[in-house]
Amino acid sequence: MNLIENADLVRQQVETVRNKANRQDQVNVIAVTKYVDVATTEALVKTGIQHIGENRVDKFLEKYQALKEYELTWHLIGSLQRRKVKDVINFVDYFHALDSVKLAQEIQKRAEHPIKCFLQVNISGEESKHGFAPDELDDVLAEIAQLDKIEIVGLMTMAPFEASQEELQDIFSKTHQLQKQLEKKQLKNMPFSELSMGMSRDFEVAIANGATYVRIGTSFFK
């Protein structure tokens, strides 16, 4: 594994699609470090990475504690059990997997300041995937609107592992349309300006469809 080469390659690929898609806004690369230890994460940070993502609470806290001296932005990207909210939520800069009203209520109870959250949506309707169906959102947003510790910065989605290029294009463009509709509503504490989608295997399609945060693991650490 050559971290410097891999990080350069990811940066190049992101820039290439960004330019091809005529994107003027920023695309933030979150390095998903769940596969590697603190030392490897630190080495990656030294290549210029600013955003770190973890999907498990224990691993998140381990890296957060060990790398406090760096100015990093910390993303919790995986589904979060309600009983673990209190251990982690106040250290999280962005939580990407808000997928139930009950979880939002638990965050409301434990947060000491407003928490930036992505609402996870499941556009493909795949049973195994977490996330809200688009037709649930009106009701869900009405409930979350009452929680002043929840700031909804945008939508997050994950495409099915086996999705074809056409399916990826379909899922990501529909998620983008939905994000733009919600942004227009200008709801209080819900700017909906961000779009978290794209992993190692599909980040190029995601960026072409408006992703502002991509979550990349494998491509850094192969």
Interface residue list for ligand PLP (CB under 6 A): 32, 34, 55, 77-78, 199-201, 215-218
* Structural tokens at position 104: 């939002």
CB nearer ligand PLP, residue 178 or residue 199:
199
CB nearer ligand PLP, residue 13 or residue 189:
13
CA 102, 107, 109 angle in degrees (round to 5)?
95
CB nearer ligand PLP, residue 34 or residue 84:
34
Return the H-helix or E-strand segment holding 115: strand 115-120
CB nearer ligand PLP, residue 131 or residue 148:
131
Compute the least distance from the CB of residue 146 to ligand PLP, in Å: 27
* Structural tokens at position 203: 């980040």
- Confirm if 215 and 30 have CB atoms less than 8 A apart: yes
Q: Distance between CA atoms of 196 and 96, rounded to whole angstroms?
A: 7
Compute the least distance from the CB of residue 105 to ligand PLP, in Å: 22
Compute the least distance from the CB of residue 198 to ligand PLP, in Å: 8
Compute the least distance from the CB of residue 33 to ligand PLP, in Å: 10
Return the H-helix or E-strand segment holding 156: strand 150-156
Compute the least distance from the CB of residue 199 to ligand PLP, in Å: 4
Mode of pairing for the β-strands spanning 150-156 and 194-196: parallel
Determine how many CB atoms are found less than 10 A away from the CB of residue 164: 10
Chain residue at closest Cβ approach to ligand PLP: 217
CB nearer ligand PLP, residue 73 or residue 189:
73
